[in-house]
Amino acid sequence: MPLDRPIFEKEPIQVNSFQELSLIEPLKRALGEEGYAVPTPIQVQAIPHLLAGRDLLGIAQTGTGKTAAFALPILQRLAAASDATGKAALERKTARCLVLTPTRELAIQIGDSFRAYGPDRARPRQARPGRGRRPRRGRSHARHGLHP
């Protein structure tokens, strides 16, 4: 079955800074504040594809910037999305993105990254069903996008 678009780029994209990626100014500013200047190879390859709304499977070693590679496009798309009232998705109090992780520690790390990169309005909430003595309560919070 033929694919309608290539799975990967034949020639690597050459990017020397985050300023060259099509990110909105608040994200570029946050990256500068976090001390990021040059995107890693996974970020260079992933960010343009995700900003274009394409699916992506990225595999890279620990510490190569995978979280930023998917978090930055998510935050940008949420900042651009608005509802019928014109309210940006980041300003609404309902869940707009779900990130699943295999461990609680990774969920906390990813949440910290979203807070660091996102505008002041980006307040990630983490639901951790099954922790503690009342797992049903965690599932209820997950359904409503709340952090217990």
Is residue 30 domain-resident? Answer: yes
Is residue 7 domain-resident? Answer: no
Contact, 69 vs 46, CB < 8 A? yes
User: Rounded distance, CA 89 to CA 96, Å?
Assistant: 7
**pLDDT tens digits for 87-134?**
665 566 666 788 899 998 999 999 899 989 886 655 666 665 555 555
Distances (CA, A) of 38 to 35, 64, 72: 9, 12, 14
What domain range includes position 42? 18-144
Which pLDDT score, from 0 to 100, does residue 80 have?
Answer: 81
Is residue 40 domain-resident? Answer: yes
The one-character DSSP state at 59 is: -
DSSP 81-122: -B-TT--BGGGSSS-------SSHHHHHHHHHHHHHHS-TT-
pLDDT over 90 at 43, yes or no: yes
Is residue 81 domain-resident? Answer: yes
How many structural domains are present in the chain?
1
In 1-147, where does DSSP find H-type helix? 25-33, 41-51, 66-80, 104-117, 135-144
Q: Mean pLDDT of all residues in the chain?
A: 77
What CATH number did the domain enclosing 57 receive? 3.40.50.300
Collapsing DSSP to helix, strand or coil, 126 comes out as coil
Is residue 5 domain-resident? Answer: no
Residue 144's Cβ-count burial label (10 Å; 0-12, 13-18, 19+) is exposed
For the chain, the C-alpha Rg in angstroms (whole number) is 17
pLDDT over 90 at 69, yes or no: yes
Is residue 62 domain-resident? Answer: yes
